[in-house]
Amino acid sequence: MLKRPKQEIRINTRYHGKKLFQFLDEFLEKKIPKSALMKWIRKGAVRVDGKKFKPFDRVFKGQVVTIPSHELEDTTKIDTKSQNPFLIKKIYEDDEILVLYKPPNLPTQPGKGVNDSLYQRLKNHYQKDTPYLVHRLDKETSGLIVTAKTYSALHKLQQLFKKREITKVYLAWVIGTTHFDKWTKIEHEFEEERDNKKKYVKARSYIITLVNKGNNSLLGICLVTGRKHQIRIQLSKMGHPIVGEKKYGNIPSTQGLLLHAYLLTWEDKLFVCNPPWMRKFMIKDEFLKKIFPLPK
C-alpha cells in the first residue's frame, strides 16, 4: 500500500466550476473508489476553504480543497487476489498464454501522451519476458485480454482471431428496455477510416437481453466482426446507447462506460470475469444464465 499524506490543493483553471466529487475523482486519477470519496465528503474529511461542502457543490478557481491522508494500492502491479477494480488481475497463466483482467480507463497500448498502459505495466512486471499483446480493448472498456508468452502462441492466437474462431462476449448496461429474448443477429453499415481513406464497412453482432431494470437493460453482445467501437456504435444506432457513453451519446454515469469484455473462449478453453460495477449496476450470477448456449 502507498501512503498519501494530507493535501491542500488550490483550484486552478482546469478544475474551475467542477463539482467537488468530480474534482476529487479526476484529481486522484480515479484511484479511490467513488463510495470512499462520498464518505470523505459526507463526514467532512474533505473541506473547501475550511468548510464542509456537499458532493455536488461546485468549486472555483482560488479555493483550497483539503484532501485527507489515505492509503492507495499500487495499481502498477499485477495481482490475483486484490479486489481493487483499477488493478490488473491475472486470470489464468500457463507456458503459452496469460489471460488478464484490464481495468477501465487504462489504454491497452502506449501512445502519444500516454504514460500508463496495460503493455507498460506488463513490461514493468515481466521485464525481458513481457508477453505479446494479441488483441486490444478500448481505454474505457474493462475485461478480459489474452496475451501470448511465446511467438508460436502469438501466431496461433492471431490466426484464430483472423478466422473468427475465438468467441468474445461483452456485457453492457444500456438506456431503455429491450426484448431480445434469445441471441439475435444485428447488422449495421457505418463509415470507417483506414489509411486516410473513408469507406463503408459492415458490422455484425449477436445480442441478447439478460435483464431489464427500470429504464436500463443489461445486454450480452457476441461480436462477429471487430470494427472500431463496434458495440458502442451499433447500440447507439439502435437507440440504446451504453450507460456512460460520451462519444456516441451524452449518457452520464458515475462509473464510467458500462461495457465489459466478460467471456473469451476457443477450442477447449473458456474464461469469464465479472465487471467491477457497483450499486444498481452490480452483476448477479442469475443475470448471466441466458448467455449459454452461445450463438453459432
Cell of 215: 429504464
**Cα dist. 203→182, 222, 246 in Å?**
19, 12, 21
* Confidence check: pLDDT of 80 > 80: no
Digit-coded pLDDT (tens) for 15-52: 899 999 999 988 887 778 788 899 899 999 999 999 99
Higher local confidence (pLDDT), 32 or 133: 133
| Domain residue extents for the chain | 2-72, 75-163, 165-296
Digit-coded pLDDT (tens) for 265-288: 999 999 999 998 988 999 998 999
CATH superfamily of 165-296: Pseudouridine synthase (3.30.2350.10)
The pLDDT assigned to 35 comes to: 80
Radius of gyration of the chain (CA): 21
Topology match between the domains 2-72 and 165-296: no
Give CATH for domain 75-163: 3.30.2350.10
Cell of 139: 481505454
Give CATH for domain 2-72: 3.10.290.10
The pLDDT assigned to 75 comes to: 56
Cell of 39: 464518505
**Cα dist. 194→16, 108, 142, 198, 200 in Å?**
38, 20, 25, 6, 10
